[in-house]
């Protein structure tokens, strides 16, 4: 660690310049240069060669565009938020040495964001009518905060918690109080903590009281609603060692709130939740904070493979040669075919221009991507495991 490099973060310049690369691509450039060879190639990004019937969400497309911007390449890609299933999600065409060194970062951008967005969509579909917030940036390296939050939104989550990530992606982070706030006032003094929040925090911020720090959830909820006059919600983050039947705890809280005329106070749940727990709680809780299930997603195993060299179809074994298109057919399935042959009848071709001669020719919109993912999920019958 040095003063001018306080964190282990690869710089934006290094990524743009192709230095965030596996070293063998530098050797490749040196070898091709030595041989005076720089073929015109088409390369495709795929996770599976053929459709499998299992869909995932494409994210990271804006980063892909900015990575390749200024390089003399043409790129086509699926729209962000599109569900994909086999075949190319992106296609790069140009002189090989123009983009050879960018492959490592290119795959990383798509793989990581798409894995997170796919998990987010699973959570979204597990509780389609509930508010589901992204709480997971604490689990990842801080340099990835915006990656996590953006992909979580593309996958359909309703809000984010990471402040700096929000500044990067143009969203305001939400959040109310951690246990730390209540601990600062000491055991048994939760009212002081809730009141300090109510009096000290911007009135625009929803009044959500965390109710599990020292005592029974129902007891703390009753005390919280008696302390904060215009309380919006209570949050139960019951620690796993005390959880027992979390659904019963949430129902009991709901019952006691209603019994006291607090039907308008919502109940939020958080802590180690994934799709299974959301399905189990969605009819009794109003909303959820989901962290690790989304942020700790495995990256999608994308690869970039050359499929055409100087106009000739080619591939390494195990991969399919030739430039391809991918289609959505009316039954919601995907079809992969050669681009110079007719696609399936009524098939919708999904790859769209992203860059032409290094210029970005697409606009990016997180909300549109999220709508696409949600609509697509209904079309293809996407469900969480």
Ligand X SMILES: O=P(O)(O)OC[C@H]1O[C@H](OP(=O)(O)OP(=O)(O)O)[C@H](O)[C@@H]1O
Binding positions for ligand X, rule: CB under 6 A? 135-136, 139, 178-180, 237, 270-273, 289-293
Closest to ligand X by CB, 99 vs 293, is: 293
Residue 235 CB, shortest distance to ligand X, in Å, is: 7
Residue 293 CB, shortest distance to ligand X, in Å, is: 6
Residue 71 CB, shortest distance to ligand X, in Å, is: 38
Residue 211 CB, shortest distance to ligand X, in Å, is: 11
Closest to ligand X by CB, 39 vs 292, is: 292
Taking alpha carbons only, the member of 314, 6, 275, 28 closest to residue 156 is: 275
Distances from the Cα of 201 to the Cα of 177, 205, 230, angstroms? 10, 7, 13
Closest to ligand X by CB, 135 vs 382, is: 135
The tokens of 59 are what? 């994210």
Closest to ligand X by CB, 293 vs 382, is: 293
Residue 68 exposed, middle or buried by CB count within 10 Å (0-12, 13-18, 19+): buried
Ramachandran assignment for 183, one of left (phi > 0), alpha (psi -120 to 50 degrees), beta (any other): alpha
Closest to ligand X by CB, 78 vs 177, is: 177
Residue 281 exposed, middle or buried by CB count within 10 Å (0-12, 13-18, 19+): buried
Nearest residue to ligand X by CB is 291
Give the CA diameter of the chain. 81
Q: Is-contact 287 128, C-beta < 8 A?
A: no
Residue 117 CB, shortest distance to ligand X, in Å, is: 17
């Amino acid at each position: 660690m040095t003063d001018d490099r306080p964190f282990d973060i690869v710089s934006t310049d290094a990524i743009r310049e192709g230095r965030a690369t596996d070293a063998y691509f530098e050797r490749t450039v040196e070898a091709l240069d030595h041989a005076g060879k720089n073929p015109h190639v088409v390369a495709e990004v795929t996770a599976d060669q053929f459709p499998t019937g299992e869909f995932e969400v494409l994210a990271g497309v804006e980063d892909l565009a900015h990575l390749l911007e200024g390089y003399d390449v043409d790129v086509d890609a699926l729209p962000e938020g599109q569900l994909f299933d086999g075949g190319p999600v992106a296609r790069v065409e140009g002189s090989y040495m123009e983009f050879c060194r960018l492959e490592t970062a290119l795959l990383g951008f798509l793989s990581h964001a798409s894995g997170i967005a796919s998990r987010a969509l699973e959570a979204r579909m597990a509780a389609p009518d509930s508010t589901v917030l992204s709480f997971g940036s604490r689990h990842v390296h801080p340099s990835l905060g915006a990656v996590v939050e953006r992909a979580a939104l593309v996958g359909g989550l309703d809000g984010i918690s990471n402040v700096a990530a929000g500044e990067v992606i143009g969203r305001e982070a939400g959040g109310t109080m951690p246990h730390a706030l209540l601990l600062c006032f000491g055991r048994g003094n939760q009212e002081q903590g809730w009141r300090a929040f109510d009096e000290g925090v911007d009135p625009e911020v929803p009044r959500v009281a965390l109710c599990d720090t020292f005592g029974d959830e129902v007891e703390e909820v009753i005390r919280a609603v008696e302390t904060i006059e215009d309380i919006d919600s209570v949050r139960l983050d019951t620690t796993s060692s005390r959880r027992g039947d979390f659904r019963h705890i949430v129902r009991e809280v709901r019952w006691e709130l209603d019994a006291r005329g607090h039907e308008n106070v919502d109940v939020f749940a958080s802590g180690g939740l994934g799709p299974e727990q959301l399905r189990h709680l969605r009819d009794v809780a109003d909303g959820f904070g989901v962290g690790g299930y989304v942020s700790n997603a495995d990256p999608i195993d994308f690869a970039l493979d050359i499929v055409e060299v100087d106009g000739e179809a080619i591939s390494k074994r195990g991969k399919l040669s030739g430039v391809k298109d991918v289609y959505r057919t009316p039954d919601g399935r995907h079809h992969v075919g050669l681009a110079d042959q007719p696609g399936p009848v009524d098939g919708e071709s999904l790859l769209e221009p992203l860059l032409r001669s290094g210029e970005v020719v697409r606009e990016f919109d997180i909300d549109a991507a999220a709508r696409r993912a949600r609509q697509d999920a209904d079309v293809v019958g996407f469900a969480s495991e």
